Chains A and B, each alone.
Chain A
Amino acid sequence: MNWESYKSIADTNLWSAILPEFVLVILALSLLLLDMFGGSKGRGLVGRVTMLGLLVLFVLSLTVLRDNLGYINQTTFSGMLLHSDFGQIMRLFFLASSLLTAYLGSVFLKKQGLPGTEFYAITLLVTASLMLLSQSNNFVLLFVALETVTIGFYVLVSYNRDRSNSLEAGLKYLIMGGFSTAILLMGIVLLYGIGSSPVLEGATAHSLNFSELRNFLELNSDNLIAKVGVLLVVAGVAFKIGSVPFQIWIPDVYQGAPTPVTAALAVSSKAGGFAVLIALVSGPFKPMADLLIPVLSVMAIVTILFGNIAALTQQNVKRLIGLSGVSHAGYLLMGVVAMFTVPSAQNAIVFYLITYLLASYAVFGVMAHVSKRGQDDAQNLGDYQDMLKESPFLAGVLVLGLASLAGIPPLAGFIGKLLLFYVAFEAELYTMLAVAIVGVVISIYYYFGWIKEATFRIWKLPLLEGEEPEEPREWPEVSRTARLTLGGLALLALLLGLYQGPLSSLIG
């Protein structure tokens, strides 16, 4: 490379375009310093500093940085990043999700007596990588960002290192994650190789760049190696979103990981996968529609059915929510398939992800609160009995969260499903719609089964002579912050179902 090209690269290195990510990384590093030099007082502040930082960044991104300082619809870092409206929304999404993860962490870690600093620092780094991931325009950056996320999660999943469950989950996630990384990398390499092969028409030296690759694939959509490469990349991403056949890790890892991490896996990691998939399907992989539509359709159908049927018999709520999350990935995949013919399906997917975030964190928040001090958190359905009577606030949040996940009006989850069904209908995906309906009906059984445990009155057999009455279960006091956060989430899930005005740019 000559001097001129170095100069052109340097000219496109606009650090201000990635200001939020930059701030997050600095914040993460300063947390470590605070922990090191701040003494016990500083250590106590780490959680609050994290939440405050995330909150400020969220508010700024929503207001001042809404147009990313003017860098919208342009590429920076010599084509590595593409700043788009979609990227801006996903940045906000990940900031919100991490803020809630950090809040759950502050509740959960204290109860379990776990150190906090590393948790918060890694969460911040993962957030920054997720935000870069949703703006990536080049396979190199996509891979690096995705790997940073995954490596962060390797640590977080086994964070509770005194508990064998958590370690087991970490190991499983590591092995399955490594496997999927290998697949993804193989796909990228194949695409790189074939894309720069000079024998083929449209060959380019920059075949890792999304737009260059798209031009190439448009001319060579029948090439076998290109097809294999595309399929391998999709398979690598399918691991992140947890769709069949790469969902095998989900129940065990969700069960073993600490609750805030499970929440982050369920929401952030899944949304990250979908952000990549959306970028790929609307960009470089669009010419491969003939190959991808049938493949993704089959994946969506099997994922919906598998997730719902497997969740039916679960007694452990974390496994249940993990498997139900698989089915949500299936509904979302339906939207991805619709994107090939109806580009506005992208908005439906984003809206659905937002409703999924609200409802999931409401449910995970309740789970984090009912967990017992020093013990594994309340994971069995039976642990939720009598909740309505003993802790009506938490029960109310749980009911709204679960009903929103089930897609029952008037909650936001229903509008999300409606939008997905709408675009699926527009794209004429009738078979998938039929499967999705079956899936929704099946899901009623386990979501309402959980609501049933938490709300229904139960008959207890009268005590026999000499039988001691059971020790009444201790229900946690709900702090004011918790009321504000969880109540706010549940209320948002309700309001967004009644009035979608603020998000109307995502609708229609």
Chain B
Amino acid sequence: MSNYSILLLSTILVPLLVAIVLLAAGRLPKGVTQFLATLGFFFPALGGLILWRGFQPVDATGYDYLTSLPTGLEGLGITLKLGLNGLSMPLFFMAGVVGLAAGIYAMQSRAERMQQYLMLLLFMQAGLMGVFASVDIFFFYFFHELALIPTFICIGVWGGRDRSSAAMEMTIYLTLGAMLSLIGLLAIYFQSGAESFDMISLKAAVANAPITGEWQNIIFGLLMFGFGILVSLFPFHSWAPRGYASAPTSVAMLHAGVLKKFGLYGFIQVAVPLVPAGAIHWQGLLAGLGLAGVIVIGLITIAQRDLKEMVGLSSVMHMGYCFLGVACVSVLGAAGVVITMVAHGLTVALLFLLGHVVYRRTDTYDMDDMGGLVKKTPALAAIFSAAVFASIGLPGPGMLNFFGEFTIFAALWEYSRLITAGAVLGVIISAIYGLRAIARIFFGPPSEALEKHLAENSVKDITTAEKIPTLILLVTMVVIGLFPRLMTDDMQRSLDANFQSIHSGIEQLAFEEEESEQELASISHPHRQ
């Protein structure tokens, strides 16, 4: 096991261990808790950075830092196999950064029983790092589910209004999605004949002998709805805005920013490469639902008064772009999805964070009760506007979002021009709600409620403490936005490898079908080659 592999393993273990210490140690002094938690959040982010800098895949699998540990489930072909490839590397890094920002912000919040809160967040963080570091699809699933109970309890204990039913709705939806995906993943395992849950072996097995066409359709169907529900695919999205609106800010940042990307990552890394014919079979429906997500949810977002719910809905809407990218079943589309995932993860976490910073100053999320805040908080207004511009995908702060969405549109153009035209409308929609939010919060005359509130309380501009997590997210976003080649070169290598096997797989499948047809009809005609 190389040093880097140990580092990869410890990005998962350190937050987990800190969480266990916080759980088991009884009541610790505040300083110790904060120190330990900072360590738990800082380590994955730093590890992600170091691993990215040293990332050099050598062999044809496209993976680096491969390592595997026995678990006791070897009989089922399951080992704890970790590693990163060009697709998971940027997401792994993004998970570390968002986790760091969310953790720092959580420590500033005035939550009761801070130790328990940080403990649960650290469990989530360990799961998040594990999702993107897993090469074994069982553990990929397992780490995602690790976050389910902490999310539920965090929302219930530290959440806002409606938290009880929102947490329940979210958990039921997420379990449904997880169960469908689990059966889909089991089906992949059995049908591929690889005798292993390891993605590399599965890809090799499928490249040799693709799964039969009928099973591909069933498996992709299961995964499409399973992963889809987990990513809030329209019309299974209702849990997302409600859940995020009632979740504490750091949980919303982690969930909407990182955890939700599990499903999309599953599409790109598992579903499309392993069952490509199934993907092509379902691509029409997936594109339709994705487009509906962009347009319908976009329009609903415009109508929101609640800032947090608006951000939650906008994240559902942006997931629509990602589904469109997946539906293209092409290298370009998949690349666009990964870039958008990284960009959106950072952006939406930033928006949730800033939304709460605004809330601290106005004591309400209702945008009708705000206005004219720019006079009191000019710096906050500037940063908030930058975040919104990023979310819309305007070049500048939103360079990365722009690249991602543009790549998806370019890929979509090859698939269907009509859908592309519809999807581009989404950019206008997100400009409308984004700019209107800025206008309603920071400009214009202050509402009566806000004036009263301002008269009674002294409102300061964004504080240095609040700036730290904000700038971590903003700077990461801008730097990757300016140098997207940091991720795209490695990504392309991995995607090319994936799609090469996809094309050979589909050709082989078509060839086999043709052969069987020939046998049936027993007509001989020259091979199409």
Contacts and interface: CB of A to CB of B under 8 A. Distances in A.
B93 interface: no
B75 A441 contact: no
B71 A501 contact: yes
Interface string B131-167: 0000000000110011011001100111000011001
Contact of B182 (A415, A421, A451): A421
Nearest to A415: B73
Contacts of B183: 421, 425, 433, 437
B171 A448 contact: yes
Interface string A429-441: 0000100010011
The dominant DSSP class at the A interface is: helix
Contacts of A403: 149
A345 B116 CA distance: 40
A336 B157 CA distance: 41
B164 A499 contact: no
B190 A425 contact: yes
B29 interface: no
B488 interface: no
Contacts of A502: 72
A311 to B, nearest CB: 15
Given A437-B180, A507-B73, A507-B75, A452 B172 contact: no
Contacts of A508: 73-76
Interface centre among A389, A422, A437, A502 (most CB of B within 10 A): A437
B72 A408 contact: no
Given A409-B145, A503-B72, A504-B75, A445 B172 contact: yes
Nearest to B71: A499
Contacts of B168: 445, 448-449, 452
Contacts of B205: none
A120 B168 CA distance: 41
A408 B141 CA distance: 11
A392 B116 CA distance: 10
Contacts of A85: none
Given A410-B145, A507-B75, A508-B74, A451 B153 contact: yes
Q: How large is the interface on B (under 10, 10 to 19, 20 to 34, 35 or more residues)?
A: 35 or more
Contacts of A451: 149, 152-153
B179 A441 contact: yes
Contacts of B182: 418, 421
Interface string B70-93: 111111100000000000000000
B186 interface: yes
Contacts of A389: 113
B175 interface: yes
Interface in B102-117: 113, 116
Contacts of A399: 149, 153
A451 to B, nearest CB: 7
A457 interface: yes
A452 B167 contact: yes
B164 A437 contact: no
Nearest to A425: B186
A346 interface: no
Contacts of A452: 152, 156, 164, 167-168
B179 A500 contact: no
Nearest to A400: B149
A457 B158 CA distance: 8
A498 B71 CA distance: 8
B179 A440 contact: yes
Interface centre among A399, A403, A408, A445 (most CB of B within 10 A): A408
A426 interface: yes
Nearest to B147: A409
Contacts of A410: 142, 145-146
B72 A501 contact: yes
14 contacts: A396-B23, A408-B175, A409-B141, A415-B73, A419-B76, A441-B179, A444-B171, A451-B149, A455-B156, A456-B167, A500-B71, A500-B73, A501-B71, A503-B72
Interface of B: 23, 70-76, 113, 116, 141-142, 145-146, 148-149, 152-153, 156-158, 163-164, 167-168, 171-172, 175-176, 179-180, 182-183, 186-187, 190
Interface of A: 388-389, 392, 396, 399, 403, 408-410, 414-415, 418-419, 421-422, 425-426, 433, 437, 440-441, 444-445, 448-449, 451-452, 455-457, 498-504, 507-508
Q: What are the 4 A-B residue pairs with the smallest beta carbon separation, nearest first?
A: A508-B75, A500-B72, A456-B156, A501-B72
